[in-house]
């Protein structure tokens, strides 16, 4: 039984090694040593283009209003809906405390 298990393991290891992408094997069988050069390996496929960046919605006036009276650096989480949340910090810009978006998540 151990012999069968070892033979099976050896066969699977050999099959896995043969199926490894990017590994090429070339054997010259000419007795005179005048073998042609090995074939050029295939060109790897071009990776797909990255997806387009998501569009972010405008920051609601209520998010900016939540920063009024807060200290700079205060973290605010503004819930737009049950599936949409903005998180950011209050920062002073032009003498006003504004909500600065740090993360945005939308389910679905």
- Tell me the C-alpha distance between 8 and 4, whole Å: 6
DSSP 8-state class, residue 107: -
Closest-CA residue to 4 (of 16, 15, 14, 12): 12
Quick: pLDDT tens for 26-69: 777 777 778 888 788 889 999 999 999 888 899 999 999 999 99
For the whole prediction, is pTM greater than 0.75? no
Closest-CA residue to 72 (of 93, 87, 103, 101): 93
Q: What percent of the chain has pLDDT over 90?
A: 48
Phi–psi pair at 79, nearest 5 degrees? -95, 115
Tokens of 68: 């009024």
- Quickly state the pLDDT bin for 25 (edges 50, 70, 90): confident
- At which residue do the structure tokens 């070892």 appear? 6
Determine the average pLDDT of the residues in 89-108. 92
């Amino acid at each position: 039984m151990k012999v069968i298990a070892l033979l099976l393991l050896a066969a699977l290891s050999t099959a896995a090694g043969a199926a490894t992408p990017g590994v090429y094997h070339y054997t010259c069988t000419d007795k005179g040593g005048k073998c042609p050069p090995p074939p050029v390996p295939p060109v790897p496929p071009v990776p797909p283009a990255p997806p387009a960046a998501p569009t972010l919605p405008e920051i609601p006036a209520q998010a900016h209003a939540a920063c009024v009276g807060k200290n700079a650096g205060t973290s605010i989480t503004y819930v737009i809906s049950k599936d949409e949340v903005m998180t950011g910090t209050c920062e002073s810009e032009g003498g006003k405390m504004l909500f600065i978006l740090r993360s945005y998540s939308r389910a679905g």
